[in-house]
């Protein structure tokens, strides 16, 4: 008999191979093939074997358990900025005022020797005193549905393009590169920034779930390598076992950035007290904190909890057929001269010779219980204590062993010996 067993789409090629191996091992099926492309197992064998393989395969094709994960994310951003100082003028304007009219005596050491006048305008300085503070609270709720043993992922943030390489069409000169415009082509790769959470549920009995959590917070770093920014990664990996409806809170994901800058006249702005009159100082503090709350709800329990264990009967002793009736016990009659059935005739004065019967065939009456009050039933080929003339009583043809006495039947009085006629 030939049959095709179609597996569902969630069955992996490894699981399909393991099912085929189990069919060969447990059911003694030699012609079993698996097709991972179509998720089909082909079985050929006897009718009982194929039917049992179909029942065994159907017991394995149970839907896996599913969990609904309710994820809540709180994000708190705090920013404080302060700018204080005096910004002096960075440039001066020099203007020509014309010639001097009253100069009778020339100034030999002046500019233009007293023949011309110049003026300089002093610009006003800028006093800066600003303060900025901001607070941002963000709350997001998401729901993820995941199966038993399968990973569910969530990304909250943005994708940042990074140049990881370049493709050049050749080594042209500057003129040809400017004309064609195809000498340089960058290779861009996008990186996920923000909060990235990956959760894998494992169902247990008693409405309990084990969550394998992989939480990562990624952001751009302050340093640059070759003109490309670095990525700061903070990752948390752990496992937690919860009951349905219990919550798991992840805290401690904090990012604090402090920025200080100075602007003013060189060297003078660095002085401790006077430097405040010739420059400005700016401070910028940014702090970010993320909280993550995970709460599981079981939508469908595992197959081991929903379906009871099943026993499949297989084999001749388990088919339910009635056993063959036992043959009645019979007492074999002794052969004349001490010969046993299947043996040679006995010789006076010597025990009979027993010839073994056909191997694998038990003598008639072997293994039957002996009823009280009746002589023992012995298998064929075993003498029943026939006495040998001229020697004491024998038992089973062995000299010197008395023959057994037959006990009287229960409930029957022993009759007296008959009188001689």
Helix/strand/coil for 159: strand
Residue 99 is predicted with a pLDDT of 58
Contacts of 238-243 with C-beta under 8 Å, sequence gap 24+, read 238/212, 238/213, 239/210, 239/211, 239/212, 239/213, 240/210, 240/211, 240/213, 241/204, 241/208, 241/209, 241/210, 241/211, 242/208, 242/209, 242/210, 242/211, 242/296, 243/206, 243/207, 243/208, 243/209
Reported as a single tens digit per residue, the pLDDT across 29-76 is 888 888 888 888 888 888 888 888 888 888 777 788 899 999 888 888
Distances (CA, A) of 164 to 85, 185, 186, 187, 337: 42, 11, 8, 6, 110
pLDDT of 401 strictly over 80? no
Reported as a single tens digit per residue, the pLDDT across 219-270 is 887 667 677 788 888 888 889 999 999 999 888 778 788 888 888 878 887 8
Instruction: Domains for the chain: give ranges and CATH numbers.
Output: 2-61 (3.30.1370), 64-89+125-159+187-311 (no CATH)
Pick the more confident residue, 358 or 295. Answer: 295
Reported as a single tens digit per residue, the pLDDT across 296-353 is 999 988 877 766 666 767 665 544 445 555 555 555 555 554 444 444 455 555 555 5
**Which pair of structure tokens corresponds to residue 407?**
């006990």
Look at 65-79, 178-192, 397-411 and tell me which has the smallest mean pLDDT.
397-411
Distance CA 334, CA 349 (A): 17
pLDDT of 182 strictly over 90? no
What strands lie across the sheet with 40-44, from one edge to the other? Answer: 2-6, 40-44, 31-35
**Tokens 């941002």 belong to which residue?**
136
């Amino acid at each position: 008999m030939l049959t095709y067993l179609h597996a569902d789409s969630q069955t992996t090629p490894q699981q399909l191979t393991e099912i085929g191996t189990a069919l060969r091992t447990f059911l003694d099926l030699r012609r079993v093939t698996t097709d991972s492309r179509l998720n089909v197992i082909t079985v050929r064998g006897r009718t009982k074997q194929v039917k049992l393989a179909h029942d065994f395969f159907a017991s394995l094709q149970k839907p896996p358990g599913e969990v609904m994960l309710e994820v809540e994310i709180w994000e708190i951003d705090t920013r404080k900025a302060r700018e204080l100082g005096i910004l002096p003028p960075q440039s001066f304007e020099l203007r020509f005022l014309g010639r001097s009219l009253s100069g009778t005596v020339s100034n030999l050491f002046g500019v233009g020797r007293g023949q011309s006048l110049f003026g300089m305008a002093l610009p006003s300085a800028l006093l800066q005193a600003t303060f900025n503070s901001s607070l941002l609270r963000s709350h997001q709720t998401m729901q993820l549905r995941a199966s038993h043993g399968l990973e569910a992922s969530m990304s909250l943030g943005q994708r940042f393009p990074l140049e990881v390489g370049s493709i050049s069409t050749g080594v042209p000169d500057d003129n040809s590169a400017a004309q064609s415009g195809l000498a340089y082509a960058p290779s861009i790769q996008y990186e996920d920034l923000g909060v990235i959470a990956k959760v894998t549920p494992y169902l247990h009995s008693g409405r309990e779930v084990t969550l394998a959590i992989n939480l990562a917070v990624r952001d751009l770093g302050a340093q640059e390598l070759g003109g490309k920014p670095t990525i700061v990664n903070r990752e948390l990996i752990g496992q937690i076992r919860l009951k349905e409806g219990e919550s798991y809170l992840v805290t401690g994901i904090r990012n604090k950035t402090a920025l200080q800058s100075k602007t003013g006249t060189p060297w003078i702005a660095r002085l401790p007290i006077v430097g405040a009159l010739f420059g400005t100082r700016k401070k910028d503090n940014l702090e970010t904190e993320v909280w993550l709350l995970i709460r599981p709800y079981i939508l469908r329990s595992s197959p081991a909890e929903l379906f009871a264990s099943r026993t499949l009967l297989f084999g001749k002793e388990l088919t339910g057929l009635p056993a063959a009736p036992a043959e009645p016990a019979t007492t074999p009659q002794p052969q004349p001269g001490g010969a046993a059935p299947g043996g040679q005739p006995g010789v006076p004065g010597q025990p009979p010779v027993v010839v073994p019967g056909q191997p694998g065939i038990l003598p008639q009456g072997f293994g039957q219980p002996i009823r009280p009050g009746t002589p023992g039933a012995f298998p064929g080929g075993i003498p029943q204590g026939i006495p040998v003339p001229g020697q004491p009583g024998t038992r089973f043809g062995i000299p010197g062993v008395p023959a057994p006495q037959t006990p009287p039947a229960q409930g029957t009085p022993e009759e007296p010996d008959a009188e001689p006629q």
